[in-house]
Structure 1
């Protein structure tokens, strides 16, 4: 029988208090490790590391050193980075031979949670990377939306909005990943049907629209779609509207409904006109 996976929604605070901190505690040690003894963590949520930002960090390390130790764990004769891969890469660019690190015994589940949460809290992931990290916390670590929000310092609404980015078409996701559109644009585009998203996203990016302009663009596209999809009135119903309107002396609207039914709406401007209309119907 398969063993049930333990979730991190409960007991998350105790988990992070022991594993997320980068200061040495019981069961861990602060050491200087050679760069070649370290390897990237398997749970790193970042897909791309900006070369310019990495060089800026390397320059800071050249002048100030690595101020914050990496968090690592033992792995096959070396060490796996749990938190601090950017510092490790920047230290290599800066020409360092070693970096300070806290070596901590850590299970896979805890290492995953720490790596994902550490990266999200630093706010330098793109929205799609952040969304993917949150989804892993939920699906692989068994955390609830509320627990995720608390762990990464976001509101539940913010977490839900990020998770919805998976509903964007690939073309829109690519623009968001490249920075050609931002999170606010993406949220607006989610209000459009899938068939319209790619075209709308391209227009937003090429015209460099604001979020408000994007919302207006989506609303306009939706209105056009509604008009196109609205059933056309048959000549018979149009004639009926006209003749009934003339007979009653009021504006009459007839709308087709399912099952061959129709809805008749008679407009009247005031109570007096309503009395006249009732008299005509008697």
Structure 2
């Protein structure tokens, strides 16, 4: 019996024998297919909210008139497809009652799909801090699983590694610096109630509790129970801590050991401390006093001069009353 001796004759497959190079190249190209929105499930733990705002209403009207012009990106999933990029287009199509939307079907691993999903959504005009926080963390985790050097430090200012910064690659192609990306990722340690206050600072809704990014980052180091206590205090006092107050809370919390946690009384005491922006101020329009000072006079000198003039005026009034 003749032996093969491990020889490989590179025989063409049946498909290769009965197809042209042109047809094989065409088969390798991604094609746009029309899919029913009901066949497409949402991306798991999708961090970006699809909101029924004015922009969505405009998109719905556009879809009704012209259809979905830019294909969505999906990947095959058992029993259907999973959305990677195009959640807003899918929502608009459903509201416009379109039976189908154009989609590019691409085979992607979980990590590849996560990175594409995050990058495509970061191009939106308005993104809430909570959306960026979880999106950046999802991308960082995916890159770490892919073996890239993307270790995350606990320092909100970032820590330099050998050759690259921990979040430098994540920050590439975004409007945020690596330091800002690190701050956003820290927000994922906040309880939902406080994280919502950070979103409120961007939405700027009147008469709603809001907290800025920097103090929120400091609060993210508090234990969950301490954060819950603090949120209840903030609601009762109808105010949020300043950056300095948040730093003080973090320092006091980190000084605790074991299961010991920051007492509510301590949180209340810190919150009652006067904030610089809570001091009552009187503002005088510049045009009302500019004629009394030479151009370019420093603001502090103007303030000191006005205070001295008032002091002289008070002395004069006292002398007239005698």
In structure 2, C-alpha distance between the alignment counterparts of 1:90 and 1:215, rounded to whole Å: 40
More strand by share: 1
1:54 counterpart residue number: 56
Question: Normalised by the size of structure 2, how large is the TM-score?
Answer: 0.50
2:215 equivalent in structure 1: 188
Q: Label 1:203 to 1:122 Cα distance change in 2 as closer, same or farther (>3 A).
A: farther
Is 2:218 aligned against 1:174? no
Report the counterpart of residue 250 of structure 1 in structure 2: none
Query: Per the alignment, do residues 124 and 202 of structure 1 end up closer, same or farther by CA in structure 2, a change over 3 Å counting?
Result: same
Distance (Å, rounded) in 2 between the aligned partners of 1:75 and 1:171: 34
String of CA shifts for 1:60-111, please: whole Å, max 9, x gaps: 2223321221011222242221100111011110121111111222222211
- Show the counterpart of 1:159: 181
Would the aligned equivalents of 2:187 and 2:216 in 1 still touch at CA under 8 Å?
no
Q: 2:256: which partner in 1?
A: none
Which consecutive residues of structure 1, in runs of 5 or more, have no partner in the other structure?
Answer: 1-23, 229-282
Q: Is the 8 A contact 1:109 1:141 kept in 2?
A: yes
- Specify which of 94, 100, 103 is matched with residue 101 of structure 1: 103
1:214–1:74 CA distance, 2 compared to 1 (3 A): same
Taking CA–CA contacts closer than 8 Å with sequence separation of 6 or more, which of the two structures ends up with the larger relative contact order?
1
Q: 2:135 aligns with which of 112, 133, 143?
A: 133
Mapped partners of 1:219, 1:44: distance in 2: 31
Q: Aligned partners of 1:139 and 1:175: how far apart in 2?
A: 25
Closer/same/farther in 2, CA of residues 191 and 38 from structure 1, 3 Å limit:
closer
Q: Distance in 1 between matches of 2:34 and 2:69?
A: 13
Partner of 2:75: 73
| Cα pair 1:27 1:105 within 8 Å, conserved | no
**CA separation of 1:25 and 1:63: change in aligned 2, threshold 3 A:** farther
Structure 2 portions without partners, runs of 5+: 1-25, 151-166, 252-268, 274-322
The structural deviation recorded for 1:152 is: 3.7
Report the Cα offset of residue 132 of structure 1. Answer: 1.2
Give the length in aligned residue pairs: 198
Equivalents in 1 of 2:27, 2:169: separation in Å? 25
Residue 198 in 1 paired to residue 231 in 2?
A: yes
C-alpha separation between the residues in 2 aligned to 1:102 and 1:111? Answer: 13
